């Protein structure tokens, strides 16, 4: 049986025999650290202008700062002595500096379709960018009947989805114009709620047909038909059984090219996974006082077969992004994934500022919510 010494000897023997021994030993004991003097020219600081434009009368705000050299110990500071103007549909407005918020603020509200040119003038220079305020996108949401859910066989699914037994398929149809490029970000809200109607009073200590509402935390999986969203886009999440698992406030960043399915329909399907009262032994109602056998304030646990109907509520947010803002989020996400590692591929964060750095982007937000009633048979 060969020991570690024999294995190392067998590896070094061919090298030592060919005269490479001295070089090999020198490499083993040489230091990998070498100080290199930095004598490159340090460029002048640049002006940084950032603003995100949203519609529906929202105030226009902007921040102005300057760059610092990466060897400089000084922290980047917001600049309060700039002159910032916004030309909105040809009419110029001057923004005032809010010292508490460290932002420049316009009391003129923006609307969808406004053409905005934002300009910051400072002794460091002039920075400017033009952006159109995005319009919200129409979304239609439909759901299928509650159906049994068979958990994937991998260990992670067994751990995360241990209580799951049912799934509700939620279809999001996005009114996406086919003749133009569009950019989106979808965020599925992690927290939902359900409203329970009781069947009888004997267990629940309530009158018949009484209800209560409680928060629940469903799991979400993108269906196979929507797999193109995480194979072709910058998205966050992890795979369970070949499907993307959406945890708390994960978002999908994608273009309309990724959005359309094989039939050319701009739609997203995801599974809302949950445990129904029909398969639970009991349920918990924190608002019904407390039972004699429980500590004060701990709520009341009642048999699940007293439930006659449950209504599940869910919500999500669809943001329609300008191309500049999409590219900024995309590249910023790639930069964050590298985490500053020197061995990673360099990532240039998208900038659309003329005469400086930063981003002036736009998005509009569509808040969507839905619900599904689920009735339980009499036992």
C-alpha span between 290 and 280 (Å, rounded): 20
User: Where does the pLDDT of residue 296 fall: very low under 50, low under 70, confident under 90, or very high at 90 and above?
Assistant: very low
Average pLDDT for the chain: 76
- In this structure, what are the phi and psi dihedrals at residue 84, rounded to the nearest 5 degrees? -115, 125
Task: Label residue 129 by pLDDT band (50, 70, 90).
Answer: very high
Q: Considering the chain, what percentage of its residues have pLDDT values greater than 90?
A: 28
CA distances from 296 to 202, 213, 299 (A): 21, 21, 8
pLDDT at residue 320 is higher than 70? yes
Tell whether the model's pLDDT for residue 40 goes beyond 80: no
pTM: 0.76
pLDDT, tens digit (0-9, with 9 covering 90-100), for 333-375: 877 777 656 566 777 899 999 999 999 999 999 988 887 777 6
Check residue 48 and give its pLDDT: 96
What's the CATH fold of domain 47-132?
A: Immunoglobulin-like (2.60.40)
pLDDT at 150 over 70: yes
Residue 2 pLDDT level (bands cut at 50, 70, 90): very low
Q: What does the domain layout of the chain look like in residue ranges? A: 47-132, 139-335+363-375
DSSP 79: -
The highest-confidence range among 11-15, 40-44, 200-204, by mean pLDDT, is 40-44
pLDDT per position as a tens digit, 62-94: 999 999 887 777 777 899 999 999 999 999 999
pLDDT score of 224 more than 80: no
379 has a pLDDT exceeding 60: no
User: Quick one: the chain helix, strand, coil %, rounded to 5?
Assistant: 15, 40, 40
């Amino acid at each position: 049986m060969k020991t570690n010494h024999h294995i190392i000897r067998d590896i070094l023997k061919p090298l030592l025999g060919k005269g490479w021994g001295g070089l090999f030993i020198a490499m083993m004991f040489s230091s990998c650290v070498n100080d290199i003097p930095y004598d490159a020219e340090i460029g002048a600081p640049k002006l940084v202008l950032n603003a995100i434009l949203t519609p529906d009368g929202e105030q226009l705000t902007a921040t102005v700062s300057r760059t610092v050299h990466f060897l400089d110990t000084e922290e980047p500071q917001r600049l309060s002595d700039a002159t910032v103007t916004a030309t909105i549909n040809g009419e110029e407005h001057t923004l005032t500096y809010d010292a508490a918020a460290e932002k420049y603020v316009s009391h003129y509200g923006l609307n969808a379709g406004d053409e905005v040119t934002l300009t910051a003038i400072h002794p460091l220079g002039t920075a400017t960018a033009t952006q159109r305020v995005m319009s919200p996108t129409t979304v239609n949401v439909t759901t299928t009947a509650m159906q049994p859910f068979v958990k994937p066989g991998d260990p992670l699914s067994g751990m995360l989805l241990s209580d799951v037994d049912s799934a509700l398929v939620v279809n999001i149809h996005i009114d996406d114009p086919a003749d133009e490029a569009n950019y989106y970000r979808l965020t599925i809200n992690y927290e939902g709620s359900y409203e329970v109607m009781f069947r009888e009073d004997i267990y629940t200590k309530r009158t018949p047909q009484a209800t209560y509402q409680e928060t629940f935390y469903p799991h979400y999986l993108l269906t196979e038909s929507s797999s193109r969203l995480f194979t072709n886009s910058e998205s966050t999440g992890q795979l369970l059984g070949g499907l993307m698992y959406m945890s708390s406030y994960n978002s999908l960043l994608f273009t309309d090219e990724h959005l359309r399915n094989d039939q050319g329909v701009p739609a997203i399907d995801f599974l809302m996974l949950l445990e129904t009262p029909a398969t639970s032994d009991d349920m918990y109602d924190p608002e019904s006082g407390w039972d004699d056998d429980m500590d004060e304030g701990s709520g009341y646990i009642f048999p699940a077969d007293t439930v006659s109907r449950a209504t599940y509520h869910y919500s999500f947010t669809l943001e329609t992004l300008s191309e500049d803002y999409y590219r900024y989020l995309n590249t910023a996400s790639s930069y964050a994934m590298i985490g500053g590692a020197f061995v990673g591929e360099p990532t240039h964060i998208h900038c659309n500022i003329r005469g400086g750095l930063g981003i002036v982007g736009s998005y509009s937000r569509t808040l969507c919510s839905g619900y599904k009633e689920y009735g339980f048979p009499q036992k």
